[in-house]
Chain A
Amino acid sequence: MSVRESIGLHEQSCTSCLICVRDCPSQCIEIERHTEQLTEGRRPKTVHVLDAFRIDYALCMYCGICVDVCPTDALIWSPVAGLALPSRAALVSDREDLARRAQ
């Protein structure tokens, strides 16, 4: 039986679609994004670009719904433990921390 240690993020796979943010029952995921116009290709299109991705592990209930619903498998279960920290604010994992958990 495996232990759900934490959640990791493959940044390059994330399309910042916000499905995980909407489906998270404890509302612990926060995404910041902006749109960019792509002019190359057959015709111009608008894409979302990820600016910030935060998971508040003080709120996360480890249900794994975000991992299940992620359409690009950017969110994964990570074997990296170590979430015993001296401050409440430190339990908020940022994009770099989540990417490290996905390596």
Chain B
Amino acid sequence: MSAAFTPISYRVVAEPTVRVHVSELACCAIEVGSAVALGLLQPEAPQDAPARIDVLLVSGTVTELLAPAVQAQWAAIGEPRLAIAVGACASSGGPYWDSIVVLNGISDLIETSGYIAGCPPDPRRIIDGVLALVPTP
């Protein structure tokens, strides 16, 4: 990861106090991108109100090589925070569960508070899932 890389944070349009960070690892990240295109997520702007909770969406296959990057991204997020596994790979290893280099889900790596099923889940279901899993204010 180069020093110039700054990950973008998003806000959930329906609940703007929820800030979303994305671990873009595989195809599920494209669906998270679609949520931006559909207007369900929008990039964080300086005028946004303070976030009440940070959510890390781990979207994609977590390999041994990429696991430290996910861990570093999680460590950089302040409390209160929530890690959500998006799709089969991040939940359990998915179709690659039997591969030696693939982690059987991110719960082996970080404390996971939610799992969104799908391979990949629909962008609307991802945002519905985030709103269902985040505690209400």
Contacts and interface: CB of A to CB of B under 8 A. Distances in A.
A82 B113 CA distance: 16
Interface stretch (A30-38, A57-65, A68-76): A57-65
Interface of B: 88, 91-95, 97, 105, 107, 112-119, 122, 124-125, 128-130, 132-133
B94 A84 contact: no
Interface residues of A, number: 23
A61 B115 contact: no
B60 to A, nearest CB: 14
A contacts with B: majority SS: loop
Contacts, number: 73
Contacts of B113: 86
A84 B132 CA distance: 7
Interface of A: 3, 5-6, 25-26, 56-63, 81-88, 90-91
Given A3-B122, A58-B105, 15 more contacts: A5-B125, A25-B95, A57-B88, A58-B115, A58-B117, A59-B88, A59-B95, A62-B119, A81-B125, A82-B132, A84-B117, A84-B130, A85-B114, A86-B114, A86-B133
A6 B132 CA distance: 18
